[in-house]
Structure 1
Amino acid sequence: MNLTDKRVLLTGGSSGIGLAAAEALAAAGARLVISGRRPEALSQAVERLRAGGGQVEGVAADLATPAGREATLNKALECLGGLDILINNAGGVRAGRLEHTSEDEISTMLTVDLLAPILLTRAALPALRASGEAMVVNVASGIALIGMPFYTTYAAVKAGLSHFGEALRRELNGEGIQVMTLYPGATDTPMMGSSRAGPDLGFNKESPGAVAEAMIAGMQQGALQVIRGGEARAAMIAMNRENPQALDQRFLGMKADLEEAVRDHSAL
């Protein structure tokens, strides 16, 4: 897909992967509306993008609510005059043992990471269909492909988002709407700020810019999925499929250290 003059709605665009993706899309000639929950951070992101020459508007809204989703989509359609690309990037995480995770935290992850993207996509489909050449991009996680201990709910919702994208791709096949899923690994973003897990535990963080560049390249090439993490991640995915008990043993060896490193990891 040629991104020049494409009309893009990108959720969670005020920081991290979302902001880096907005910068890359603007550089490619796309016109954007970005959303975020924090008005001040969103305003700063819009100013930064405009200073770099981007055609960008912002909408401060909580996608966990029906009113927030409606306001976000309406703002995009009003500012852009239609919609060619929807990028479901907004998300949240709470790590730690399942029994130490509150019901509210579990509910928030289910809503923000899975329900909101599904409902926003459903609402956006008429506008995307009218585009004639449209795309939905869902930002999942490498944890959707390899379930990690202490990320039980997050793994579940991101795997759900992954399969939502796969099923939707097949549902819309031949109808002018592509669907791509991005699987970032550990990324150096504010969302990871409260995690103390490092390379010794397999968390080799890459820059948001590198993830965004891979996303944009995948969109331009019409990829079905983009998986970050290189050969090491590919090997773990293969092991998880062919010999999952071997991966169980690997996690068992680091279990105590991993639990301690991620017990405060929260970005909801």
Structure 2
Amino acid sequence: MEIRNRRVLITGGSSGIGLALAQVLGSKGAHVAISGRQSDRLNTAIASLSAAGVAARAITADVATQSGRDATVAGALEALGGVDILVNNAGGVRAGRLENTADAEILAMIEVDLVAPILLTRALLPSLRESGDSAVVNVASGIALIGMPFYTTYAAVKAGLAHFGEALRRELAGEGIHVMTAYPGATETPMMRTSRAGAELGFVREPALAVADAICAGLQENAFEVIRGGEAREQMITLNRNDPAALDRRFAGMKAALEDAVRDHSAL
């Protein structure tokens, strides 16, 4: 896919991977709109993009609500005149034991990580069809591929998002709308600030720009998926498929340390 002059909507674009992707795609000539819940953070993001030579539009809306999704769609169509690339990037996480996770926290993850991408994609399909060469990018997580203890709901919704994308790609095959799923690993973003899990527990964080560059390259190549984490992640994926009990034992050995490191990890 050619990036130049594409009209791009990125949800959760005020920071982290979303903001980095706005910078990368904008630098390649895309017309970008970013959405987020907080106008002050969006304004700061727009200013940082402008300083990097990227003109972008901001849409203040909460995609976890129907009114917010309606505002996001309407704002994108008004700002861009249509959408050629939809990036479902907005996400939320609450780690910890399932039994200690509040109903509201579970439902928030379901709404923002799974329901919002499905309904936004459905709402924007007419505009994506008009383009004739468009794309939907769903930003899942490496945890969608390897379920980690203390991330039960997050793993469920991100795996659901990944399979939504896979099924939709096949549903839309030959219709001019490509669907790609990205699986970032631990990334240096505001979402990770409350997590104390480090490299000793397998959380080797990479810069958001590295993830954004990889997603952009995947779009240009019409890739089906972008998996971060390198050879170590590939080995874990293979082990999880061929000998899941071995991975169970590995997690058991770090269980207490991992629980302590992520018990305060919350970004909702």
TM-score range, shorter chain: over 0.9
Q: Which residue of 1 aligns with 2:71?
A: 71
Q: Which residue of 2 aligns with 1:170?
A: 170
Contact kept? 1:188, 1:207, Cα under 8 Å? yes
Deviates more, 1:50-59 or 1:116-125: 50-59
SS in 2 for 1:91: coil
Aligned partners of 2:198, 2:117: CA distance in 1, in Å? Answer: 30
Aligned partners of 1:198, 1:79: CA distance in 2, in Å? Answer: 40
Aligned partners of 1:14, 1:83: CA distance in 2, in Å? Answer: 19
Q: Which residue of 2 aligns with 1:103?
A: 103
Alignment of 1:201-212 (within 5 A): 201-212=201-212
Q: Which residue of 1 aligns with 2:189?
A: 189
Alignment of 1:11-160 (within 5 A): 11-160=11-160
Using the TM superposition, give the Cα deviation of residue 53 of structure 1 relative to its aligned residue in structure 2, in angstroms: 2.1
Using the TM superposition, give the Cα deviation of residue 202 of structure 1 relative to its aligned residue in structure 2, in angstroms: 0.3
Percent identity over the alignment?
A: 66
SS in 2 for 1:57: strand
* AA partner of residue 60 (structure 1): T
SS in 2 for 1:12: coil
Structure 2: gaps of 5 or more residues: none
Q: CA RMSD in A?
A: 0.5
SS in 1 for 2:187: coil
SS in 1 for 2:33: strand
Aligned partners of 1:192, 1:250: CA distance in 2, in Å? Answer: 23
Q: Which residue of 1 aligns with 2:264?
A: 264
Contact kept? 1:6, 1:84, Cα under 8 Å? yes
SS in 1 for 2:166: helix
* AA partner of residue 215 (structure 2): M
Using the TM superposition, give the Cα deviation of residue 82 of structure 1 relative to its aligned residue in structure 2, in angstroms: 1.1
Aligned partners of 2:51, 2:191: CA distance in 1, in Å? Answer: 25
SS in 2 for 1:195: coil
Contact kept? 2:214, 2:226, Cα under 8 Å? yes
Contact kept? 2:37, 2:60, Cα under 8 Å? yes
Q: Which residue of 2 aligns with 1:240?
A: 240
Aligned partners of 2:14, 2:62: CA distance in 1, in Å? Answer: 13
Using the TM superposition, give the Cα deviation of residue 79 of structure 1 relative to its aligned residue in structure 2, in angstroms: 1.2
Contact kept? 1:140, 1:161, Cα under 8 Å? yes
Aligned partners of 1:175, 1:119: CA distance in 2, in Å? Answer: 19
Structure 1: gaps of 5 or more residues: none
Q: Which residue of 2 aligns with 1:180?
A: 180
Aligned partners of 1:147, 1:48: CA distance in 2, in Å? Answer: 35
Aligned partners of 2:62, 2:77: CA distance in 1, in Å? Answer: 18
Contact kept? 2:18, 2:89, Cα under 8 Å? yes
Q: Which residue of 2 aligns with 1:200?
A: 200
CA displacement, residues 111-151 of structure 1 (integer Å, 9 cap, x when unaligned): 00000000000000000001111000000000000000000
Aligned partners of 2:121, 2:4: CA distance in 1, in Å? Answer: 22
* AA partner of residue 80 (structure 1): L
* AA partner of residue 31 (structure 1): H
Aligned partners of 2:251, 2:203: CA distance in 1, in Å? Answer: 13
Using the TM superposition, give the Cα deviation of residue 64 of structure 1 relative to its aligned residue in structure 2, in angstroms: 0.8
Aligned partners of 1:58, 1:267: CA distance in 2, in Å? Answer: 21
Deviates more, 1:38-47 or 1:144-153: 38-47
TM-score, normalised with respect to structure 1? 0.99
Contact kept? 1:30, 1:55, Cα under 8 Å? no
Q: Which residue of 2 aligns with 1:250?
A: 250
Aligned partners of 1:55, 1:177: CA distance in 2, in Å? Answer: 25
Query: How many residue pairs align between the two structures?
Result: 268
SS in 1 for 2:188: coil
Contact kept? 2:46, 2:55, Cα under 8 Å? no
Using the TM superposition, give the Cα deviation of residue 172 of structure 1 relative to its aligned residue in structure 2, in angstroms: 0.2
Aligned partners of 2:203, 2:167: CA distance in 1, in Å? Answer: 30
CA displacement, residues 176-222 of structure 1 (integer Å, 9 cap, x when unaligned): 00000000000011100000000110000000010000000000111
Using the TM superposition, give the Cα deviation of residue 94 of structure 1 relative to its aligned residue in structure 2, in angstroms: 0.1
